[in-house]
Amino acid sequence: MGALLTFIKVIGKITGILPLAIQIAELIANLTNPDHKNGPEKFAVVRAVIKDTIQTSELVIGKDIIDEDLFDQGIGKMINGTVDVMNATTRRP
């Protein structure tokens, strides 16, 4: 019975991670798509994926988003902060 319970727990974790893995794969495909060349288009793609991910996370499940604009602003700050961090670093030769 112990092995079966462990197996069920592992499957539960995998199925919980699977939607996020699919979203990340879609995000990478969209960002590397030659049709999505400019910053605003890339921002929109990333924002949509992050928004969906947050809305299906334990962070907000069972809660209502009462201020959609504030929610979107917060996501925008997350994206811009990540871009700032990436722009503040350089690749090592």
pLDDT in tens, 14-32: 556 666 666 666 777 666 6
Q: CA–CA separation, 74 vs 47, rounded Å?
A: 10
53: nearest Cα among 73, 45, 70: 45
Considering its fold, how many domains does the chain have in total? 1
For 1-11, write each residue's pLDDT tens digit.
566 666 666 66
Q: Is residue 11 part of a domain?
A: no
Q: Say which amino acid occupies 93.
A: P
> Would 9 be classed as within a structural domain?
no
pTM assigned to the model: 0.58
What is the span of the domain harbouring residue 24?
Answer: 19-87
- Within-domain flag for 7: no
3 falls within a domain: no
CA distance 51 to 60: 11
Q: What is the mean pLDDT of the chain?
A: 75
Residue 34, in any domain of the structure: yes
